[in-house]
Amino acid sequence: MSAMREDLEQRRDGMWTGAYVSLLLVVPSVYGAVVAPGLVLKGVVIGVAMALALAGYVLGTCARDLGRVLHDTLPPVTAEAGLDHTG
């Protein structure tokens, strides 16, 4: 049970990382749309920015929902005897 929880937590953390990275890449792509010459190139850059924003939103939503599932269904991993996880 602990291995399954750790795997799901790792997937959730990966989803959060992907969401943050894709949303951070939206800002430079919007700037690129401002400075890009030509209407076609601006359209391509805006399309990429919209795809990045959608990917970030979907990954963030999935990570949040997976966090809820982990919190509601699986018991938290208990610390083994002798280990101090309080800091």
Range of the domain at 32: 2-72
What residue type is 78 in one-letter code? T
Find where tokens 């990570």 sit: 63
In a domain, 27, yes or no: yes
Our count of domains for the chain comes to 1
In a domain, 17, yes or no: yes
For residues 24 and 49, give the distance between their C-alpha atoms in angstroms, rounded to a whole number: 10
In a domain, 52, yes or no: yes
pLDDT in tens, 10-29: 999 999 999 999 999 999 99
pLDDT in tens, 30-68: 898 889 899 999 999 999 999 999 999 999 999 999 999
